[in-house]
Amino acid sequence: MSHIAFIGLGHMGAPMALNLLKAGHTLSVFDLVPSAVKTLTDAGASAAESAQAAVKGVDAVVTMLPASKHVEGLYLGETGLLQHIAAGTLVMECSTIAAVSARKVAEAAAAKGVRMIDAPVSGGTGGAVAGTLTFIVGGTEADLEAAMPYLEKMGKNIFHAGAAGAGQVAKICNNMLLGILMAGTSEALALGVANGLDPKVLSDIIAKSSGRNWATELYNPWPGVMENAPASKSYSGGFGVDLMLKDLGLAAESALNTRSATPLGELARNLYSIHSSQGNGGLDFSSILNLYKK
């Protein structure tokens, strides 16, 4: 069993870290928020005083932070974590960030002899708790192979997207599509209900017809249609509007960098932006339905 540093114990990081603990690894954990750390220490992890202290003497490091600026801020610079991680240590950076940031940090890691993969995840908080996340990995084949025993304890499907940064590119393409599909599903349900249909009946029909998608199968945005979906829990938990907005922004940046056209992604980004600016940034992203609902 290995000794692992786990940094960033939020909605996703905490359950992922718990699954590594359950698998028998020992964990040194750190988060800026003390209550997040307590969840892990209650389960047997040891709390480190700082991120720098957490990585001392470990076999592997996992980070799960909000965005690019947090990841660059943590790893890079004179006091950055890369100055404290021993050469040869394996780092799994699981946050969803810009591919350019992931490449920048991976290059700095390589210069220090630190083995790093970008391994953003899909599957939400439910997948993090159940240990069924999808990992979308960028990095070398050898580093992915070294990461497998850890990733397999937190996830079910593990894909190698390509070289450093490729995991982030694939993740952003997926999430741009998800943002579009959730807005489209909301639009269709609101249209049906405005024209007299029962949202559950319409959802059942779409789920078995050509318009079916992940939202109609597992994550219906209409309250009460699916008991366990965030929509039925006042849009709490799940994947926040502001995190979706961040991912659509990353998609827009990637499109700009490569002169790609993403008109539907941009439209979705604007819809989530309006929704967030109306005070809904902390709700689950399926609450985009409220933009359409009468």
Residue pair 168/96 in contact (Cβ under 8 Å)? The answer is yes
Which position among 12, 17, 82, 189 is part of the footprint of ligand NAD (CB under 6 A)? Answer: 12
Is 31 a binder of ligand NAD (CB under 6 A)?
A: yes
Nearest residue to 10 via CA among 93, 120, 123, 128? 128
Is 30 a binder of ligand NAD (CB under 6 A)?
A: yes
Which position among 4, 6, 13, 147 is part of the footprint of ligand NAD (CB under 6 A)? Answer: 13
The nearer residue to ligand NAD, 202 or 235, going by C-beta atoms, is 235
Going from the C-alpha of 184 to that of each of 26, 45, 129, 178, the distances in angstroms are 44, 43, 28, 10
Antiparallel, parallel or unpaired: β 3-7 and 60-63? parallel
The nearer residue to ligand NAD, 11 or 103, going by C-beta atoms, is 11
Which position among 55, 121, 144, 169 is part of the footprint of ligand NAD (CB under 6 A)? Answer: 121
Is 293 a binder of ligand NAD (CB under 6 A)?
A: no
Which position among 8, 15, 167, 223 is part of the footprint of ligand NAD (CB under 6 A)? Answer: 8
**Strand ranges inside the chain, DSSP E:** 3-7, 26-30, 46-47, 60-63, 90-93, 115-118, 121-122, 133-138, 155-162
Residue pair 228/222 in contact (Cβ under 8 Å)? The answer is no
Closest contact distance (angstroms) between CB of 259 and ligand NAD is: 25
Is residue 171 part of the annotated active site? The answer reads: yes
Is 36 a binder of ligand NAD (CB under 6 A)?
A: yes
Nearest residue to 280 via CA among 249, 220, 247, 236? 236
Closest contact distance (angstroms) between CB of 48 and ligand NAD is: 10
* Residue 260 exposed, middle or buried by CB count within 10 Å (0-12, 13-18, 19+): exposed
Instruction: State how far Cα 6 lies from the chain centre.
Output: 15
Q: Considering 56, 104, 156, 171, which one is annotated as catalytic?
A: 171
Number of residues that bind ligand NAD (CB under 6 A): 25
Q: What does the alpha-carbon distance between residue 179 and residue 267 come to, in Å, rounded to a whole number?
A: 10
Select from 60-68, 103-111, 178-186, 208-216 the region that touches ligand NAD (CB under 6 A): 60-68
Closest contact distance (angstroms) between CB of 209 and ligand NAD is: 27
Is 125 a binder of ligand NAD (CB under 6 A)?
A: yes
User: What are 181's two structure tokens?
Assistant: 């599909």
Q: What does the alpha-carbon distance between residue 126 and residue 256 come to, in Å, rounded to a whole number?
A: 33
Residue pair 230/238 in contact (Cβ under 8 Å)? The answer is yes
Is 38 a binder of ligand NAD (CB under 6 A)?
A: no
Nearest residue to 32 via CA among 10, 5, 16? 10
Interface mask (CB under 6 A) for ligand NAD, residues 207-246, using x and -?
--------------------------------x---x---
The nearer residue to ligand NAD, 135 or 190, going by C-beta atoms, is 135
Catalytic residues: 171
Q: Which residues bind ligand NAD (CB under 6 A)?
A: 7-13, 30-33, 36, 51, 64-66, 70, 74, 95-96, 121, 124-125, 239, 243
